[in-house]
Amino acid sequence: MQRLRFLSGNAIKILAAALMVVDHVGFFLFPHITILRIIGRVSFPLFAFMLAEGCRYTRNKTVHFTLLFGLAVLCQIVYFFFDQGNLTMSVLITFSLAVLMIYALQFCKRCFFDAACTAAVKVLSALLFICTVAAVFLLNQIFVIDYGFVGCLLPVTVSLFDFKDIPVPEKIKKTDHLYVKLFCLAAGMAFLPLTTDLGTLEYYAFFALIPLCLYSGKRGRLRLKYFFYIFYPLHFALLQGLAWIL
């Protein structure tokens, strides 16, 4: 079975980026060609899964969140001025909020399974996670966030059974497995049609499970982390510019 898992994290991200371009070409240039939007549905779950994997292995969580959120805010300001004051939050905001919840969840799990932590600390860490999720939910009621609250939670579902560097019993440790994560991801994906304008077309996102089943768990040779942070706003601006010209 391990031999069949040959796709690196980089390969999945490149696939997700390519599918995202197809989706946005359909959105900006050919809105009447539905198949382009259908193909693009696969992109978001791929990025959501790899975002959770990035949080699993990132050493400096503060820098990771700050870079992602800073880029998201910068892009949002540009979108606001060039899209006639539109306050719809981009997918970078979606992923920034997801990262915040994942790190709060990781802290909660670490405190819960750490014998040195007092009961009060365990309770406070759980309250911190609950408050973080509640804050994201309320924010989604104020602003229109891409993929909605369910989209923000999707990477979090992948991290539910992430016990890397957490002193959990061996029986629990065994749940930290690719297929368990994919099951949780699929459960979250089932609710995507409720939070997007595309409705039932979002069910095509389940095709993302095929390449994810082939994920090797390895990053790949190249360090492409910052490339993907920059690729999204650049391709988005290019396609929007072409849409204005045409």
Residues 6+ apart with CB under 8 A from 205: 41, 42, 44, 45, 189, 192
Residue by residue, DSSP assigns 98-126 as: HHHHHHHHHHHHHHHH-TTS-HHHHHHHH
Total tally of structural domains belonging to the chain: 1
Q: Do 205 and 41 form a contact (C-beta atoms < 8 A)?
A: yes
Q: How many CB atoms lie within 10 A of CB 6?
A: 11
Task: Determine whether 2 is exposed, middle or buried from the number of CB atoms within 10 Å of its CB (0-12, 13-18, 19+).
Answer: exposed
What is the reported pTM?
0.93
Provide the 8-state DSSP code for 75. H
User: H helices within the chain, ranges in order?
Assistant: 9-28, 34-40, 43-57, 61-82, 91-113, 119-142, 148-159, 170-173, 178-189, 209-213, 225-245
First vs last C-alpha separation in the chain: 49
Domain that holds residue 50: 2-245
pLDDT by 10s per residue, the chain, length 246? 566 788 999 999 999 999 999 999 999 899 999 999 999 999 999 999 999 999 999 989 999 999 999 999 988 887 777 665 667 788 999 999 999 999 999 999 999 999 899 999 999 999 999 999 999 999 999 988 999 999 999 999 999 999 998 989 999 999 999 999 999 999 999 999 988 888 899 999 999 999 999 999 998 887 777 777 788 888 888 888 888 887
- The single-letter code of the amino acid at 204 is Y
Tokens of 157: 């579902």
Q: How many CB atoms lie within 10 A of CB 23?
A: 20
